[in-house]
Amino acid sequence: MRKVLQNKDVEIIATDVNGVKVAEISSDEILIGDIRSGTDFLVDVYYQGFDKIILDEKNIAPKFFDLKSGFAGEILQAVSNFRLQLAIKGDYSKYSSKSLKSFMGESNQHGQISFIDSGI
């Protein structure tokens, strides 16, 4: 289904996996550009009844992947507050930060935010 979320054109592929509603989001735009737009985006998807979100790395501002910015922590907090799960798929080989790789590994273990290597 094609929708407009936060004034941005997105494609949502909705699936139900054992009663868990999953939204796979596809867009050519940055959907999580700052804390406010990220929170607004998560709220919008949450209120449509989804439990899990799959999103491309390209839909998130690059500062998310710079842990010093605090942006990733704020988004993780918002995901947690809404009891959502967020899977971010992308090519992470371009990131050399050891702290980012540790964050990604720890996040994958806890499941609130998961990083899926798209193998691009």
Per-residue pLDDT of the chain (120 residues; tens, 9 = 90+): 545 455 567 888 899 999 999 999 999 999 999 999 999 989 888 988 999 999 999 999 999 999 999 999 999 999 999 899 999 999 998 898 999 999 999 999 988 899 999 865
Query: Cβ(10)–Cβ(27) under 8 Å?
Result: yes
Q: Where is 71: in which H helix or E strand?
A: helix 71-81
Q: Count, in order, helices (H) and strands (E) of the chain.
A: 3, 6
The pLDDT assigned to 2 comes to 46
- Domain holding 97, by residue range, is 2-117
- Sheet containing 85-90: give its strands across: 2-5, 8-17, 20-26, 52-56, 85-90, 113-117
The pLDDT assigned to 111 comes to 80
Span 44-76, pLDDT tens digits: 889 889 999 999 999 999 999 999 999 999 999
Count of structural domains within the chain: 1
| Dmax (CA) of the chain | 38
3-class state of residue 48 by DSSP: coil
